[in-house]
Chains A and B, each alone.
Chain A
Amino acid sequence: MARPLGAVRLRKANSAVLAVGVALVLFVLLLVISSSTPDFSPARKAAAALHPLSPPTSPFRKSPAGAMLQPPPVARYNLNNVTTTARPLENRENILLLTPMARFNPAYWDNLLRLSYPHELITLGFILPRTREGNLATRELQKRIAHVQTQAPERDRFKSVVVLREDLDPALSPLASQDERERHQLARQKARRAAMAKARNALLVSTLGPSTSWVLWLDADVVETPPALIQDLARHDKPIVVPNCFQRFYNARTQAMDERPYDFNNWIDSDAARELASAMGPDDVLFEGYAEMATYRTLMAYLAKDDDNDDDEGERDLHEEVLLDGVGGAALLVKADVHRDGAMFPAFPFYHLLETEGFAKMAKRLGWEAVGLPNYKVYHYNE
């Protein structure tokens, strides 16, 4: 057997060079290994589900290709131990962040990534319509999700992400027609809000898991929130907490950027509205923000104190609370127990209310109250 040529070279090599070479090879190997394992920490892995058939609010172990799938184990969940407290961070409470989405807004996504609540405790849930626009948004969204969940540093990655496609007929989809003018026509409102309620319910009931403590509803058009949004809202320890939704715009009069109230679904009921409702048929719906039906409800949008007068005072009142009878869905933090008790978004006139407004009413029937924070603002996209 011939001897390999390596032995010949070995004789010539300097031992120091060899040592450096070995070290270099090992270093490269280490680099290769560490860069090729976008892996999760043992703590996250330990918390993962054992089987793909598991709550979507947790990641699961990918089984090696070709391996026989074992029958799922018997999983026990003790919901008595799921806490929902004013200090979610200390108690490591899980958040389910839900967004019905028709169009992908990069600003929304960037704002989402800026949230300071530990991402390993946040599960994202999306529902998108089966339209061409929805397909487009889904592709954009999935691209971003794939990047964050595999390429980004581990602390940026979310616990898990669920993407759902609506089962509704695309022609009837609420998210289908997102034309700003058409969207707010009173005649279309009823069908739109009803279908929107169905989309919200589908998203909620399919993703709500046994470990979820809070559900944060965040619209796909909310592009700016304080990074500590979750901690700030949870701090109130209320069943339902709603910040005030504003919109930034260029004020031509003052030649400067300004903000204006946007979400008018956060209100305190009025006698006029109650009278209006009592005269209605069982299938009629009372909408807010239309001249056709003046409800004279107290709108939280107009309760915000102007920052310009006195900054200190505005700061102090940031966490001022008001009790609400109707809520909007732009940003909404709900204790999971409220949803578990059965508070849904009615897709039928429930006390002449639909969707998020009806949700507040249904929660109230179940004994849960909603509070609004007039001075705590989130901002809606301006198209």
Chain B
Amino acid sequence: MPPTTASESKVAPRHPTTGCSYGYPNEKAFDMSPHRYAPRHPAPAYRRRNGSFVRLVGVVAVLLFILFYSFTRGPSSPPSSAALSFFSFGLLGASPEHSFQLETVRYYDLSNVQGTARGWEREERILMCVPLRDAESHLPMFFSHLRNLTYPHRLLDVAFLVSDSKDDTLGFVTRAMEAIQSDPDEQMHFGEVSIIEKDFGQTVNQDFQSRHGFAAQAGRRKLMARARNWLLSAALRPYHAWVYWRDVDVETAPFTILEDLMRHDKDVIVPNVWRPLPDWLGGEQPYDLNSWQESETALALAETLDEDAVIVEGYPEYETYRPHLAYLRDPSGDPDVEMELDGVGGVSILAKAKVFRYGVHFPAFSFERHAETEGFGKMARRMNLSVVGLPHYTIWHLYEPSAEDIKHMEQMKREQLAHEQAEKERAEKAQKVKETFADTTGQWEKDKAKMQSLVVQEKQETQEAAGGDAGAAGAAERVAEGVETPTADSGEETGDTP
């Protein structure tokens, strides 16, 4: 603010604020200005007319201009918005529809996204890939895990692939992610969220039995591999340093899993995957048998197989004698212990994005007799990348009972019911028995009383026969009455029992 305007200022203004005081101190102080033009008469009529003519010409020109402008903008943009954008252009820049500028050129240096052990400090972005199929029932659990992840959410881009789903997986995912992105807590907001739909026409059912049956494995694994590749190729961007694959049916995992795995600074790393079991099955069980080290037996077996055959782990049909990550778990072991792997499971894989940039993917064909995630591990090894598992760092897969388990559980349930039924019957019987024979003491008393009265009678008879003593007879009668009272009660009780 110019100091001259402040009348209350202690410093006297050096220059007058008004432009036309021509050396005189102030207009207020000295009103008359000798140089001021003052018309003697009101403006003549022709001039007034002239003025209105000029205004008219101006208005017409402006209108024509607007019309012309809206024409040149093309027919697709509504004239109102064109006019608006004209008026606001450069001044406000706020035409709601098309005022923004487009950026068409992007430049990225891939050496900046190599992936390091402490990625969160270097703002490294992670692409989280989640393949989905008929998974609606698991989604609430999954999204609670997602919210809880401690890796900065703004550095996490989440991509879902929804394929061949008959339930509302797509709708659920969309709603859940929209809710997260509009969460009042900014820390919750993720980076890019892509939901990709693609149907492969999968014929294999998603229930446990058909998913895990041996015969279905090769075809199923190849389809899964295709789905994973489609998801990755559509979602990986030049700014991603890491890719994290996560299945939705993980029940328990540390919130810090991304940092925990990243710290190892390996090209591909997987945790151990177990699943909890009901007590009758032993309480817990190794789940993911696709993480293994190659064995001589398996290599020899691979040699004998057809080019298109796929070895699947964990089935008695292929005896590979491979050391499995899952079986090496020690619950009290050091979670940082590493184990070199050749095949990996897909429940939770953290890989550097450069692994995929080098061309490693999930083979949807038989690659060295393996497909999908196991083939992925094999291919990464083929390119001399590090593939590592953590035997003592465990996450827990959801327990879904198999058909056999269900049968067994039904059997157990039946047995339990039968057991309960038997228990109940036994209890009832005991009760009945107890109630039926509960008056034994009363009976005894009664019998005793009867016998006593009999004895008394006998005595009386003998006494009468002997000339009789009235006093003694009265006493005997009193005794008989006293004894008889409980006998009557127990008689009533007996009558009550059914």
Q: Chain A: residues with CB nearer than 8 A to chain B?
A: 1-3, 8, 10-11, 15, 18-19, 22-23, 26, 30, 33-34, 37, 39-45, 48, 51-56, 59-64, 71-80, 130, 142, 145-146, 149, 157-167, 197-198, 200-202, 204-210, 339-342, 344-348, 362, 365-366
CA separation between A146 and B104, bound complex, in Å? 10
Cβ of B19 under 8 Å from chain A: yes
- Find out whether the CB atom of A56 lies under 8 angstroms from the CB atom of B238: yes
> Shortest beta-carbon distance, B354 to chain A, in Å?
6
- Find out whether the CB atom of B62 lies under 8 angstroms from the CB atom of A26: yes
Residues of A within 8 A of B277 (CB): none
Q: Which of B138-146, B189-197, B477-485 binds A?
A: B189-197
- Find out whether the CB atom of B232 lies under 8 angstroms from the CB atom of A161: no
Task: Beyond the given A59-B102, A74-B195, please list 4 additional residue pairs across the A-B interface where CB-CB is below 8 A.
Answer: A2-B19, A74-B193, A78-B198, A202-B358
CA separation between A48 and B192, bound complex, in Å? 15
Cβ of B151 under 8 Å from chain A: no
Q: Contacts A79-B230, A149-B105, A209-B234 given: A30-B110 contact, CB under 8 Å?
A: no
- Find out whether the CB atom of B197 lies under 8 angstroms from the CB atom of A78: yes
- Find out whether the CB atom of A62 lies under 8 angstroms from the CB atom of B102: yes
CA separation between A45 and B77, bound complex, in Å? 12
Give the residue of A75, A78, A162, A205 whose beta carbon is less than 8 angstroms from that of B233.
A205
Residues of A within 8 A of B101 (CB): 39, 61-62
Q: Contacts A74-B178, A80-B198 given: A54-B192 contact, CB under 8 Å?
A: yes
Residue from B102, B190, B191, B194 with most neighbouring chain A CB atoms (10 Å): B102
Residue from B33, B86, B107, B225 with most neighbouring chain A CB atoms (10 Å): B107
A11: nearest chain-B partner, CB-CB: B47
- Find out whether the CB atom of A75 lies under 8 angstroms from the CB atom of B195: yes
B179: nearest chain-A partner, CB-CB: A74
Residues of B within 8 A of A2 (CB): 19-20, 33, 36
Q: Chain B: residues with CB nearer than 8 A to chain A?
A: 18-20, 27, 33, 36-37, 47, 50-51, 53-54, 57-58, 61-62, 65, 68-69, 72, 74, 76-77, 86, 89-90, 93, 97-98, 100-111, 113-114, 154, 157, 174, 177-178, 181-182, 186, 189-199, 225-226, 229-230, 232-238, 354, 356-359, 361-366, 382-383
Residues of B within 8 A of A52 (CB): 103
- Find out whether the CB atom of A205 lies under 8 angstroms from the CB atom of B236: yes
- Find out whether the CB atom of A202 lies under 8 angstroms from the CB atom of B110: yes
> Shortest beta-carbon distance, B82 to chain A, in Å?
10
- Find out whether the CB atom of B102 lies under 8 angstroms from the CB atom of A60: yes
Residues of A within 8 A of B68 (CB): 30
- Find out whether the CB atom of B110 lies under 8 angstroms from the CB atom of A166: yes
Residues of B within 8 A of A345 (CB): 359
Q: Contacts A198-B358, A205-B356, A342-B226 given: A72-B191 contact, CB under 8 Å?
A: yes
> Shortest beta-carbon distance, A172 to chain B, in Å?
13
- A interface: dominant SS: mixed
> Shortest beta-carbon distance, A131 to chain B, in Å?
12
Q: Contacts A62-B100, A75-B194, A340-B229 given: A165-B109 contact, CB under 8 Å?
A: yes
Complex A-B: 23 CB contacts under 8 Å: A2-B19, A11-B47, A18-B57, A26-B65, A33-B90, A51-B192, A55-B237, A62-B103, A72-B190, A76-B194, A79-B197, A149-B105, A157-B104, A158-B104, A160-B105, A161-B104, A162-B105, A167-B109, A198-B357, A339-B233, A341-B230, A365-B365, A365-B366
A82: nearest chain-B partner, CB-CB: B198
3 smallest CB-CB distances across A and B, nearest first, come from A2-B20, A201-B359, A71-B189
- Find out whether the CB atom of A19 lies under 8 angstroms from the CB atom of B61: yes
Residues of A within 8 A of B54 (CB): 15, 18-19
> Shortest beta-carbon distance, B265 to chain A, in Å?
16
CA separation between A6 and B18, bound complex, in Å? 18
> Shortest beta-carbon distance, A150 to chain B, in Å?
9
Residues of B within 8 A of A34 (CB): 72
> Shortest beta-carbon distance, B142 to chain A, in Å?
16
- Find out whether the CB atom of B234 lies under 8 angstroms from the CB atom of A208: yes
Give the residue of B36, B174, B230, B237 whose beta carbon is less than 8 angstroms from that of A76.
B174
